[in-house]
Each structure stands twice: as C-alpha cells, then as structure tokens.
Chains A and B, each alone.
Chain A
Amino acid sequence: MDVVIWSRIQFAMTAAYHWLFVPLTLGLAFVMAVMETIYVVKKDDFWKKTAKFWMKLFAVNFAVGIATGIILEFEFGTNWSNYSWFVGDMFGAPLAIEGILAFFMEATFFAVMFFGWEKVSKKFHLASTWLTGIGATISAYWILVANGWMQNPVGTTFNPETVRSEMASATAFWEVISNPVAVSKFFHSVTSGWLTGGIFVVGVSSWYLLRGRQKRFAKSSIIVGGLVGLLGCACVMLSGDSSGVHAAEFQPMKLAAAEGLEDGGRGAAFTIVPGIRVPKMLSFLATHDFNGYVPGINDILRGYTDNDGNVIPSVAEKMQRGRTALDALAAYRSTEDPAAKAAARAVLDANVQYMGYGHLEKPEDVVPPVGIVFWAFRFMVGLGMLLGLVLLLSLFFAWKDRLANMRWLMWAAVICIPLVYICGQCGWIVAEVGRQPWTIQGLLPVNVAISSLSAGAVRTTFFVFLAVFALFLAIEIRIMLGAIRKGPDVEPENA
C-alpha cells in the first residue's frame, strides 16, 4: 500500500477512535443535567445520587477521550502538510477557538461539577453541569465548521501568491460558520450523541434490572435516558433529511454512491436493500420533490442539468479546466511581469473551482468506493431505526412499570450499546469515504494533500498508535465496567 492509503487509514483510525468518546460525552452530559435539574426542582436526594453516578461514568469516558482529538492535529502537520498549508487560517481559526473554548469551559465548569457539590449553591452547581454539556456542544460546532468547509468550501478565495484558501471578505467568516453543510452536520452529530447517551443509560440500567439490582434507580434512569435518546433519535432523522438535501446539492457523487445509483433521473427510486425499492422516494429525500432530478454516477461523469437548470459539466471537462487552472497557477508563480501575472490570474480565477480535477488521472477517479458507502448508509439507517424502537419500547414499559417481565427487551437494550457505536461510525464512513477522492471538495484531492513521507514511516506510526489506542481503550472499558458493576450509591430502600 502506498503512503496515501496508509495516511488515510491512520487518519480514519484516529478519527474513529475519537468518535468513540465524543458522542457519549455529549449524550451523558445532557442526561445528567436533566437528572440534576429534577433533583433541584424536586429536592429529592435520590436524583442527586442518580445524577452523580452517571457523572462518574461521564468522567471515565471523558478522561480516556480527552486529547484524542489532538492526535488528529498532529497528523495534519505531519502527514497532511500540503493540506494544512493550503487551508491555512480557515481551518486553523475554528480549531483554535474550539481548543481555547473547550479548555476554559471544561477547566472551570467541569471542576465545579465534580468538586463543588458541597461548596457552591445548588443552582450554581446545576448551571455548571449544564454549561459543561453546552461547552462540549459548542466545541463540537467549531470542529464541524472545519469539517463542513472541507465538504463545501464556502467563504474563501484561493490566493495564488500564498497558495492558500483565505477568507478575503468581511462576511467570509460568517459564511464559513453558517455553511449549511456545517450546520446540518452539527445537529446530526450532536443529536446522535444524545441518542448514544440515551442508549447507554437505558442499556446499563436494563443490565441492573436483569440482575435484580438498583430497581428504582434503573427505572428512573431508563425514563430520563429513554426520553433524551428518543429526542436525539427524532432530531437525527430530521437533520439527516437536511444532510441528504445538502449532499444532493453540494456532493451529488456522495449521494449517488450512498444509493448505488448508476443512472439517475426524475422520480428516482430509493433502494432499501438491493432488489427492494420505493418508487420516487430518493427524489423526494434529495430534493423534497417526488419528481426532482437526482443524478446517478454515470450522469455526473457525463455531465447533466440540475433542478435549477444549471448545466453541470462532465468530469472530463472539469479535468481540462482544472488543468488550465493549474497551468495558470504555474504561470502566475513563475513570472514577475505584472501583465503576465494579471493574465494568468484571470485564467486561474475563471477555472479555480475545478482546480482539484486537474490532478485526476481519469474521470472515474471521482467515484468513491460505492460498496462501502452504500452498505455503511444502510447499516446507519437500519440500526438507527432499531435503536429508536428499543428506546421507545423500553420507555413505554418502564413508564407502565412492566419492564421487569420483558427480559428480552432488557437484553436488547444491553446489546444496543455496541450497536449505537457501530451506527455512529457508519455515519462517519458515509460522510468521509463518500467524499473521496477529495480532502477539499473539488479543490484538493487526497494524493496532493499528503506530505512527502515514506509509506514505511506512516505505517510505523499507525502501528504505534494502534497499540497505544488499544491499551487506553482496554483501560477505559475496564474502569467503566468496574464502576458499573459497583453501581450507584443510592440508599438501600431505593435499590
């Protein structure tokens, strides 16, 4: 395997590892804040102890997850140096804001949340618990602004002098942070965290009920966790709908790959699994019109006319224009003559949106691995629906106080804990594998974004990381299981 593949595998592993911790942090933060709110409102010590138990598991997850995102930033500098330079401050600014914000909010409110039970007022403590979760959520926003820009690079212009994408206008920063792809990604990712937190709480609580332990605690936790999880599930579906519309608009190849759609058209059918199709549904999901036009892989390769009447050139034509842009860039950088520079700049500006295509060897290079994206999408949606159903049933029977007789449902809730992680990872596979070959859509393919490293060097760091990650994951699971086995510190009459 070459250096591009090893660099991608390493980055994918690091990002996937990071995403094991983030959704539970976002989801548990919400669950424990709701529980503490109930404690403050009802003045019932039981809810304080319940919230404290989930805070303990939150802390374990947080401790192992902390700084795993920093490794991604190491990789940007080492493995993806061309990309890092090319994106410049556009990428650095949101990540810096995230780092500073996360550090200060977490260092302040996290400490009050864990150390301040007896030191600050109930309301101040409650505010700190909510702000810990809100801080983590805002952090996620900045990360997704950076990721959303890679999928839909708005608000920047390419500067041939510095070879960077720069925010040139006063409104550019606003364009970047209100990028529709970033906004829908933010809601989709954060609410999937609520779903993860809800499933985790319901699954762990079901395990207590299966063992005949902590009955009041477990039932109460299932109700709160179930409500948070269901709210997350509903929001994931809504934001998933807007993600689909944005993919159709900004990354039609990703959508075509996720659907395995070779030839598109109006009234396109949605494939549930190969052989089972729902007529016109894909058109509706992608355009909110049952007769909307959805291009397939071949249409994108050949060129097509979109729903607004815009003629989208073939990939071969984009490659030619990309090559023209690259030649103009080379000409611009090789001359000091102002007239020649201006002429080259004009050609570059006219073709820059296709610059990345100039690096492709053949039109088919724009097609991502269809099988991976197609099946990851189906696993994500299918598992999401299963998780929602298990949450709904658990919540219903816990509410009716009939959950104790439904051992199969409690086992299903326990099994859903690993499934919710698989579901989240599948979502990121769709988002990231589906946008191949681009690091920045249309501007920079992965093979140009990487550093001049040997495959052996990247392979070595990959295995070092694998060993370190596996060790820390094993430690977390061990500490987490130990804390769950010990159980919450509720009074015997509540047990």
Chain B
Amino acid sequence: MRKLKDRLRPVWELYRDGFRNMTWGRPLIWLILLKIFILFAILRVFFFKPAMAGMSDREKSEAVGERITQQTNHQKDTLNLLSD
C-alpha cells in the first residue's frame, strides 16, 4: 500500500503543482469549466433530452419500425405509377 502511495505521489504532485503554478492557463480552465457547465447542466437538461428516453429497447424498435414502414399516399401513388 505504501509502495503504491509512493508511486502515485509524483503523479499527484505533477497535477497539483501544475494547476497551482498556472499563469495564462488559468482562464482557459475556467473557460472549460464554464463550457462544460453550460453543455451538461443547461443545454443537456433543458434543450437536448433524448427523444426516446425512458423507452425500453422493445419499445424503441417498435417506434422506429413503425416510422420506417410508414409510407405516405403520395409515395404509394408514385410507385404504382412506376409499376404501371
């Protein structure tokens, strides 16, 4: 356990000191955090809900199967004309 800790210490220090000593990179980190917040806490939650959320796989295949096999009358008429 101690060995693992000793090995991980330099990795931890790399990140810790890196973030601590940042100069020009600091606003970039804030920019990334702001963007991730906007993406996941606002856009994802309020604007981009998956259209099939909450449906089981069976229900999803039913819904998509129905849509795919659905034809408009116009399409049928066109195809009938072609086959004539």
| B is bound to A | yes
Alpha-carbon distance A109/B14, docked complex (angstroms): 12
**45-84 of chain B: CB within 8 A of chain A:** 47-53, 57, 60-61, 63-65, 67-69, 71-72, 74-75, 78-79, 82-83
Interface residues in A, total, Cβ within 8 A: 58
B38 touches A468 (CB 8 A): yes
Contact of B43 with A by CB under 8 A: yes
**Do A85 and B61 form a contact, CB below 8 Å, given A66-B35, A448-B68, A451-B51?**
yes
Further contacts, 4 of them, CB under 8 A, given A115-B19, A116-B18, A468-B43: A66-B32, A78-B49, A329-B65, A359-B75
Q: Are A326 and B39 in contact (CB under 8 A)?
A: no
Asked whether any CB of chain B lies closer than 8 Å to the CB of A238, the reply is no
Residue contact B71 to A358, C-beta cutoff 8 Å? yes
CA A360 – CA B44 in complex, angstroms? Answer: 33
The A interface is mostly helix, strand or loop, or mixed, namely: helix
Give A178 Cβ to nearest chain B Cβ, in Å.
28
Whether A64 pairs with B31 at a CB distance below 8 angstroms is: yes
Please tell me if the beta carbons of B47 and A461 are within 8 angstroms of each other in the complex.
yes
Task: Known contacts A77-B50, A77-B51, A112-B14; decide if A86 and B31 are in contact (CB<8 Å).
Answer: no
- Contact flags (1/0) for A76-93 with B, using CB distance below 8 Å? 011101101110000000
**B51 x A472 contact (CB < 8 A):** no
- Assess whether B14 is in contact with A319, with CB atoms less than 8 Å apart: no
Q: How far is the CA of A179 from the CA of B15 in the complex (A)?
A: 40
Is A246 part of the contact surface with B, judged by Cβ < 8 Å?
no
- Whether B43 lies near A464 (C-beta < 8 A) is yes
How far does the alpha carbon of A64 sit from the alpha carbon of B31 in the complex, in Å? 7
A464 to B64: give the CA distance in the assembly, Å: 28
A residues in contact with B65, CB < 8 Å: 160, 163, 329, 333
Interface status of B6 (Cβ within 8 A of chain A)? no
- Asked if residues A361 and B72 are in contact (CB atoms below 8 Å), the reply is yes
Residues of B within 8 A of A460 (CB): 47
Q: Which of B31, B69, B75 contacts A361 (CB 8 A)?
A: B75
* Neighbouring A residues of B71 by C-beta, 8 Å: 323, 326, 358-359
